[in-house]
Amino acid sequence: MAEDPLNTVYAYAERAYVRLQAGDLLIRCIEEGSPAPMQQMVEGLVLAGPQSLSALQEMLAVTGQQKSQAMDDIHQVFAEFENNLKKYGVRLKGIKTPLALARLSPVRFLKILRDQQIADEKMQIACMQLLKDSREVMRSLAAHLQLLEDIETYLQDWMWGLAYQSARQGDQSERPAH
């Protein structure tokens, strides 16, 4: 039997609404530096029971997209830092990832500059400022990424709980009455 086209439209609209709401909540979480807004929403959905699983799945999908965007942003900041250093004639030898950049101390970076014959004090200061600025942006993005990972874990935990509850309810409804 074919599904009613109107139900399909309603289901699509509901998913789109949940995704928009999840996106707004994630923005609030990032602004506040806390998962609390998302947790409040999830708690309400959990109280509604297993029928909320699809909404949680949509929220998890949005969180995953935001995580991917944060990782892309971190890599973009790293690439921009590398390109800006190239303008000064500096190559980041041995530093190929954002994590390696985060671990790079200012003293070690200054040694890299001197090893590459960047002796001009103004150029060294400009490069050190680039390092400082890039690391600050990356630190902020890494904090956002960690928050998103915490939210993702929270959503997954509740989804497992609701899936278990749904399975248990299905088991109990299939048992014969005594």
The CA distance from 12 to 17, in Å, is: 9
pLDDT of residue 11: 73
Residues 56-71 pLDDT 10s: 999 999 999 999 999 9
The CA distance from 112 to 151, in Å, is: 38
Residue found under tokens 């200054």:
110
The CA distance from 85 to 46, in Å, is: 50
pLDDT of residue 10: 73
Domain boundaries, the chain: 5-174
Q: Are 119 and 7 in contact (CB under 8 A)?
A: no
Residues 12-71 pLDDT 10s: 787 888 889 999 999 999 999 999 999 999 998 888 888 888 889 999 999 999 999 999
Structure tokens at 85: 């250093």
Q: Are 78 and 97 in contact (CB under 8 A)?
A: yes
Alpha helices in 88-105 (DSSP H): 98-103
Which uninterrupted H or E stretch holds 104? Answer: none
Please tell me the pTM assigned to this model.
0.82
